[in-house]
Amino acid sequence: MERFNLIVTCLRGQEPVAASELADLLREMGDPEPVVNVTKVAGLLTAETSLDPFKVVEQLRKMLEDEPWKVGYVMRVIPVEEVVETRLERIAEAVERLAVKIPEDATYRVTVEKRHTQLSSRDIIEAAAKRVERRVNLENPDWIVLIQVIGGVTGVAVIKPGQIVSSMKRQ
């Protein structure tokens, strides 16, 4: 199964230059051998880095503030904690493993972004939510259970709002 800990978006048709830019950025951050893949989905890359994906997002956000000219093609960078087969049970199991970091008094929301799959967002959300015993807050959650379906593989992460970086927000 494909391994990655970052999902990255770019403009359609810009995947090769965005992949090169991302690899350069990851090397500059300290990963000597990042692996960046262009997916079958237009405008979507995956990357496996030896760096903590959450720290990559933080460093990229700082870079966008201090040196925005270094980021021209990479649009959004999304951390991934687990990659599983795109099956409801596998996704739910990953959510259950990762949801332990949500404090008992905290709220959460499930967010699904799916590409190249017949699974419905509703089915994915229901399967995931059954594994998280916390209060739901759709408008202003403390945590987000993020499920990124890319065909036969799915990236799952439990993040705080703001742990995705977008170069589009700087404009």
What are phi and psi for residue 112, nearest 5 degrees?
Answer: -120, 130
Which pLDDT value is given to residue 2?
86
For residue 124, give the H/E element and its range. Answer: helix 121-129
> Which CATH code for domain 6-80?
3.30.70.940
Which pLDDT value is given to residue 169?
61
Each residue of 119-170: pLDDT tens digit? 999 999 999 999 999 999 999 999 999 999 999 999 999 999 999 999 876 4
Q: Which of 36, 45, 35 is nearest to 14 (CA)?
A: 45
Which pLDDT value is given to residue 28?
97
Identical fold, 6-80 and 82-159: no
Q: Which residue has the tokens 């049970």?
A: 89
Question: For the chain, what are the domain ranges?
Answer: 6-80, 82-159
Pick the CATH number of 82-159 from 3.20.20.140, 3.40.190.10, 3.30.2130.30, 1.10.1740.10: 3.30.2130.30
Report how far residue 151's alpha carbon sits from residue 153's, in angstroms, rounded to the nearest whole number.
6
